[in-house]
Amino acid sequence: MSCFSGLTGASKRATGTQDRGSGRQRLYENITKTVGNTPCVKINEKMCPAGRTIYAKLEYFNPCSSVKDRLACAIIEAAEKEGKLKPGDTVVEATSGNTGIAVSMLCAQRGYKCVICMAEPFSVERRKLMRFMGAKVIITPKAGKGTGMVAKAKELSQKHGWFLCSQFENEANAAFHKFTTGPEILADFEGQRLDYFVLGYGTGGTFAGAGAAIKAERPDVKIVLGEPEAAPLLKSGTKSERNADGSAIGSHPAFAAHPIQGWTPDFIPQIVEKGLEAVGYDEYIGIPGAGSIETSQMLAKTQGIFTGISGGASMWAAIEIAKKAPEGSVILAMIADTGERYLTTPLFESIQADMNEEELVISKSTPSFQLG
Ligand code: PMP
């Protein structure tokens, strides 16, 4: 049975109206059924250029707070259907974090054992979250980059006969976005203007799947695909070499370390390549790491939208597009995950745990309960 449970008929756009208190008018059989149907939320004038409209599709509304909850549902469900997973089996995957957290959730809910391979540089809170949900986390050396953690997961799967998710090649990934993320966007913007769909890629599942669904029904919507400025793999025009199973061989020559965790690994995933062939993109945008971090901080401070660095990157790109788009344009940016996953990263570097001068002045402005 599908993890995704689309709302039927009754769900209608309610911009500006309030439907608090009405509940979801349904009960859920288990946590995985709550994946998807994330909201598109308008960005106010503190960030959106005048005369344009930007919406953010907030994937942190998923139960484990990222877009990768969709991927975990897609891959585990497909494997169950194809008889590749039986009760008590072990699932293994390589991940920059969000996939591992999502796969850990699915495994916990279904009763599979879970082993996650993750390269050293990704934030430590991710490791803890996976272990919290019962997964084993195998840390791979920084020098091996993304390809190193992928190779390790493959080796473990071959040695122990574990089910490998293969998120970068598994067709269930893009397919799930084609049948959930894309249709959700089409439903939410039904009868409304939508000119640009802005996103980056990790596996490329969102791009290839949601992109295909949107283009099929609304070919005039322009897809804007972003990459970190520091790692312009697609822009370079050089393809990744592949093994027979579609996995990439070696590090791409245009790759350099970048702070946009979850975006652009050190190879071009097969799903991205297929998405480029089948759907393509209308505009390309290189996104600075510092701008992504600042934009994420701005989203938090001016919109109350709490996302990670890739969310900042998407929004940075959406704002750039808005600045040069014709008056009246409507832009949708994908916001992949929550900011809570970045407490030990540069995103939070400027945020202190202790009181600053201003806070001390407030504390001392009344007599009771002062520290120190
Ligand atoms: N942002 C973050 C933080 C992610 O973890 C991912 C997935 N790795 C993405 C964006 C991109 O999603 P996709 O894999 O569908 O391209």
Q: Which tens digit of pLDDT belongs to each residue from 278-294?
A: 999 999 999 999 999 99
Q: Is the pLDDT of residue 3 over 60?
A: no
CATH architecture under which domain 68-164 falls: 3-Layer(aba) Sandwich (3.40)
Q: Domain ranges for the chain, please list them.
A: 31-61+177-345, 68-164
Lowest-pLDDT range of 13-22, 57-66, 112-121: 13-22
C-beta of residue 63 within 8 angstroms of C-beta of residue 31: yes
Q: For 254-282, what is the mean pLDDT?
A: 96
Residues 45 and 328: their CA atoms lie apart, in Å, by 14
CA separation for the pair 66, 98 (Å, rounded)? 6
Share of the chain above pLDDT 90, in %: 87
Q: What is the mean pLDDT of residues 20-42?
A: 96
Q: How confident is the model at residue 9 (pLDDT cuts 50, 70, 90)?
A: very low
Cβ of 67 less than 6 Å from ligand 1: yes
124 pLDDT exceeds 60? yes
**pLDDT digit string (tens) for 64-93?**
999 999 999 999 999 999 999 999 999 999
181, 36 contact by CB (below 8 A)? yes
If we measure between CA atoms, which residue out of 197, 180, 268, 185 comes closest to residue 227?
Answer: 268
Does ligand 1 lie within 6 Å of residue 226's CB atom? no
On whether the 31-61+177-345 domain is CATH 3.40.50.170, my answer is: no
Q: Whose CA is nearest to atom 3 of ligand 1?
A: 262
Kindly tell me the burial class for residue 187, based on how many C-beta atoms sit within 10 Å of its own C-beta (0-12, 13-18, 19 or more).
middle
Which residue stretches of 139-284 are H helix? Answer: 145-160, 171-179, 181-188, 205-217, 233-236, 270-278
Q: Given this chain, do its domains 31-61+177-345 and 68-164 carry the same CATH topology?
A: yes
Pocket test for ligand 1, best of 38, 168, 180, 203 (most atoms within 8 A of CB): 203
Name the strands in the sheet holding 283-287, side by side, starting at the edge strand that comes first in the sequence.
40-42, 53-58, 330-335, 196-199, 222-228, 283-287
**Residue 183 pLDDT:** 98
**pLDDT at residue 15 in the model:** 60
User: Is 314 in contact with 196 (CB distance < 8 Å)?
Assistant: no
Residue 219, pLDDT score: 98
Q: What's the whole-number average pLDDT of the chain?
A: 94
Residues 136-160 have a mean pLDDT of 94
pLDDT in tens, 190-245: 999 999 999 999 999 999 999 999 999 999 999 999 999 999 999 999 999 999 99
Pocket test for ligand 1, best of 206, 272, 295 (most atoms within 8 A of CB): 206
